[in-house]
Amino acid sequence: MSNNVNTRVEKLVCPDCNSDQIMMDTARGENICTNCGTVIESHLISESPEWRAFTSEERGKRSRVGGPTTYTIHDKGLSTQIGWEDRDVYGKKLTPSQRAQIYRLRKWHIRTRVHSPVDRNLAYAMSELDRLASQLGIPRSVKETASVIYRSAIDKRLIRGRSIEAMIAAACYAAARMRRVPRTLDEIAQNSRITKKELGRCYRLIIYELAIKIPLANPTDYIVRFSAELRLSGTTSRRAI
């Protein structure tokens, strides 16, 4: 069965036969004249969704707007934000009275986004995770895993009485171990405001209480990193591995 979906294109005329019977082939990204077969336009970008729905109920469930959800933001990126540009939709500067009104709206909007102790904890922890990930140069997948681990620790009430910096650093180290991204305890402790001993204590607590299975560290995972820092060739890295 072919997956091509042909739709009628309005307000287009074939330059060869002057026919208005133009169809769009969404699989190939082409506008084709059905009368003479001329390809009028090619390499078109499909603006239709990547999912399919056969009923109105399915379409309502699968339709979405806005950016994708992420665990690295305390509200998972579902809330709106009021920008700090102080300009309207046309780019014009706001009047002083409008700026004062937007300032009050922005202040209360921020307060409503972070209204509970858990939200305040997550907001601070996710900002600390962004800072730590930026200094360590860890990929987004590790950040997502670390944020999920930290949220699980909050659900288990492991954060109470402990430093947020220590717990988010321990979650980051555990995520790096799970994703096989080589980072040592010394590196994470140096880029955090905690000691290596406290970091190790929080890491062991997270592993035990959340029953996380950490794979054994593979020495070959460090070779690519050492080669990049020493500016060695790919051939040298392969031989070392």
**What is the residue extent of each domain of the chain?**
1-64, 117-209
At 21-32, the pLDDT tens digits run 888 777 777 888
Query: 219-240 pLDDT, tens per residue?
Result: 888 888 888 889 988 899 899 9
Specify which of 103-117, 136-150, 214-228 reaches the highest per-range mean pLDDT: 136-150
Q: Kindly report the CATH number that applies to the domain delimited by 1-64.
A: 2.20.25.10
Each residue's pLDDT tens digit, 75-106: 776 667 777 788 887 888 888 888 899 888 88
Confidence bin at 2 (pLDDT 50/70/90): very low
Return the H-helix or E-strand segment holding 30.
Answer: strand 30-33
Q: Tell the burial category of 117 from Cβ atoms under 10 Å away from its Cβ (0-12, 13-18, 19+).
A: exposed
For residue 3, what pLDDT band results from cuts at 50, 70 and 90?
very low
pLDDT at 203: 93
Q: What is 117-209's CATH superfamily?
A: Cyclin-like (1.10.472.10)
Asked if residues 189 and 165 have their Cβ atoms less than 8 Å apart, the reply is no
Helices (H) and strands (E) in the chain, counts: 9, 4
**Which percentage of the chain shows pLDDT scores above 90?**
24
- Residue 45: alpha-carbon gap to chain centroid: 24
Tokens 């970008």 -> residue: 45
What's the N-to-C CA distance of the chain in angstroms?
46
DSSP assignment string, 211-228: T--PPPPPTHHHHHHHHH
Determine the Cα–Cα distance for residues 217 and 32; give it in Å rounded to an integer.
56
Sign of CA dihedral 19, 23, 24, 25: negative
Evaluate whether 1-64 and 117-209 have a shared fold. Answer: no
Share of the chain above pLDDT 70, in %: 88
